[in-house]
C-alpha cells in the first residue's frame, strides 16, 4: 500500500526539476531519431540557413510525375510525419507512388531573433525550386501543417503577386488563416499579454519550446494536465 502515492511524488519531483512543473506526458528517453523516430529511408539533398530538405527514397517501381513537398510547423520536427512505420505520412505517400520531400526547419537561437515570416518564405522558395529541378516537374503539390501551412499560404500569395505558378495544389492541416475568429487561444490573449510575450521573446531571442508546450497543454487541460494528476 502507498506505492502509487510514492510513485506520484517521485514523478512530481522530476517534473518540478526537469519539466518546469508540467506533468510529463511521455518518457522522452525512449525515443531516438533514426532508430525509433524518423526511420523512413531518405537523405538531405539541400540546405540553407533556415531549413534542410529531405528527399525520401521511392518504394514503388513507378511514381507520379508531380512531387509532394510537406512543410511541418516551425515549432515541430519533420519526424512528426514519420513517427513509426505504422504511423508515418511519409511512408503512406511513398506507398501511393508520390515523390515525397519534407522540410526540416532549423532550430533558431537568439542569433536568429530578427527572423520573420519573410525569412521562412524565402527559404521555402529555394526548397520549391530544388524540388522542381530534381524531379523535372513544372510545379508541385504542397501540404502544410499549422504554422507551416500559414507559411505555404503566404508563399502562394507571393507567387500570385509575381505571376508564377509553381504550386498545383495546397493541402492545409490545422492552419489558422483568419485570426479574427474566436478560438480557445483567444481566451489567453489580450493586448497586454501579447506585448509582454513579444518583449520576453525578444529579450530571450526565441520563444522556448517548453513555453509553447505549456500554451498548448492549457488549451486542453483535462487531457494534457489534470489527466496525469488524477489518473
Cα–Cα nearest to 107, from 78, 68, 141, 64: 78
Rounded Cα distance, 67 and 182, in Å: 36
- Quickly list DSSP for 151-173: HHHHHHHHHHHHT---EEEEEEE
Catalytic residue selected from 146, 150, 155, 156: 146
Work out whether the CA dihedral 145, 150, 151, 152 comes out positive or negative: positive
Rounded Cα distance, 144 and 25, in Å: 26
Cα–Cα nearest to 76, from 194, 175, 219: 175
Beta strands in 6-67 (DSSP E): 42-47, 51-56
Task: Compute how many other C-beta atoms are within 10 angstroms of the C-beta atom of residue 144.
Answer: 27
Q: What nine digits make up the cell of 208? A: 522556448
146 in active site: yes
Rounded Cα distance, 168 and 87, in Å: 27
Strand partners, 102: 54, 70
Q: What angle do CA 89, 76, 57 make, to 5 degrees?
A: 35
Catalytic residues: 146
Amino acid at each position: 500500500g502507498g506505492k502509487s502515492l510514492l510513485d506520484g511524488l517521485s514523478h512530481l519531483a522530476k517534473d518540478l526539476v526537469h519539466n518546469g512543473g508540467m506533468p510529463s506526458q511521455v518518457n522522452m528517453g525512449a525515443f531516438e531519431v533514426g532508430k525509433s523516430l524518423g526511420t523512413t529511408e531518405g537523405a538531405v539533398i539541400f540546405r540553407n540557413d533556415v531549413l534542410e530538405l529531405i528527399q525520401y527514397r521511392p518504394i514503388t517501381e513507378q511514381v507520379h510525375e508531380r512531387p509532394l513537398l510537406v512543410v511541418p510547423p516551425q515549432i515541430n520536427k519533420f519526424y512528426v510525419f514519420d513517427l513509426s512505420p505504422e504511423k508515418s505520412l511519409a511512408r503512406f505517400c511513398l506507398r501511393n507512388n508520390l515523390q515525397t520531400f519534407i522540410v526540416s526547419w532549423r532550430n533558431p537561437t537568439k542569433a536568429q531573433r530578427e527572423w520573420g515570416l519573410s525569412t521562412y518564405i524565402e527559404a521555402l522558395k529555394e526548397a520549391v525550386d530544388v524540388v522542381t529541378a530534381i524531379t523535372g516537374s513544372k510545379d508541385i503539390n504542397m501540404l502544410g501543417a499549422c504554422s507551416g501551412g500559414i507559411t505555404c499560404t503566404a508563399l502562394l500569395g507571393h507567387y500570385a503577386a509575381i505571376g508564377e505558378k509553381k504550386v498545383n495544389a495546397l493541402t492545409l492541416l490545422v492552419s489558422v488563416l483568419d485570426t479574427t475568429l474566436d478560438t480557445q487561444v483567444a481566451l489567453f490573449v489580450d493586448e497586454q499579454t501579447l506585448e509582454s510575450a513579444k518583449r520576453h521573446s525578444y529579450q530571450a531571442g526565441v520563444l522556448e519550446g517548453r513555453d509553447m508546450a505549456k500554451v498548448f497543454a492549457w488549451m486542453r487541460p483535462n487531457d494534457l494536465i489534470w489527466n496525469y494528476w488524477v489518473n
